[in-house]
């Protein structure tokens, strides 16, 4: 099985960058300091904007103030942060106008992490600061496609979180799940599930991209 598209839109954390340890560490510390059971936070933070998570699990707190503090910590904590194997090479092979990143993280966090692991900067970067509604709402992927000058239906999205898979699907894009933080069954709504971005094979053609994946990946 292969997919043809005009561009690929990548989620950042869990797809291009292995930041799970940082994200978990920061959310756990935040929850503990505010007397909120971490299990409640852990159940909802994956793939979603931090502001929406805070509003859901701590409606008694000032969400903007909490977001500013948490955002500072997320942007400056780089211990254990690294790019997934094959991520940098893949992005460097793609024509600049054929890919974008749409992340639930804030702009300063996303750019700090990309710089730390030496990922190339995309021409189109959509963050939580750019949208009114985050994933699973389709807006992040709709906005990224629009900034590329494309319809979402002509894009393939790589996502590691169920909320992101739902967002891309609702936007009308084809979705490939990346099972770095969730079991493949949790990403079953995707057209295919691969173990990591290194399994992806992309070939530039005259009229777009052909996206394929290793045969040991789940289709």
pLDDT in tens, 28-57: 999 999 999 999 999 988 878 888 899 999
Catalytic residue among 6, 11, 18, 160: 11
206 is catalytic: no
Between the alpha carbon of residue 155 and those of residues 50, 58, 64, the distances in Å are 26, 36, 33
Q: Model pTM?
A: 0.88
pLDDT reported for residue 113: 94
11 is catalytic: yes
66 three-state secondary structure: helix
Higher pLDDT, 46 or 168: 168
Region 119-137 average pLDDT: 95
Catalytic residue among 13, 18, 77, 160: 13
Please say if the pLDDT value at position 216 is more than 70.
Answer: no
Contact 10, 99 (CB under 8 A): yes
What 8-state DSSP symbol labels residue 218? B
């Amino acid at each position: 099985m292969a997919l043809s598209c005009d561009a690929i839109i990548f989620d950042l954390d869990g797809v291009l960058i292995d930041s799970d340890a940082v994200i978990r560490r920061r959310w756990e510390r935040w929850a503990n300091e505010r007397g909120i059971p971490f299990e409640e936070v852990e159940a909802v933070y994956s793939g979603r904007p931090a502001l929406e998570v805070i509003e859901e699990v701590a409606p008694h707190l000032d969400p903007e103030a909490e977001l500013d503090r948490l955002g500072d910590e997320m942007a400056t904590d780089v211990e254990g942060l690294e790019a997934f194997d094959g991520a940098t090479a893949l992005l460097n092979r793609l024509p600049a106008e054929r890919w974008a990143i749409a992340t639930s993280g804030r702009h300063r966090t996303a750019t700090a992490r990309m710089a730390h692991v030496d990922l190339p900067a995309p021409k189109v970067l959509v963050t939580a600061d750019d949208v009114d509604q985050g994933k699973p709402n389709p807006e992040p992927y709709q906005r990224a496609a629009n900034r590329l000058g494309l319809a979402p239906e002509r894009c393939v999205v790589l996502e590691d979180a169920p909320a992101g898979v739902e967002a891309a699907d609702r936007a009308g894009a084809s979705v490939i799940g990346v099972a770095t933080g969730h079991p493949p069954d949790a990403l079953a709504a995707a057209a295919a599930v691969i173990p990591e971005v290194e399994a992806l094979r992309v070939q530039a053609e005259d009229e777009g991209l052909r996206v394929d994946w290793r045969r040991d990946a789940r289709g």
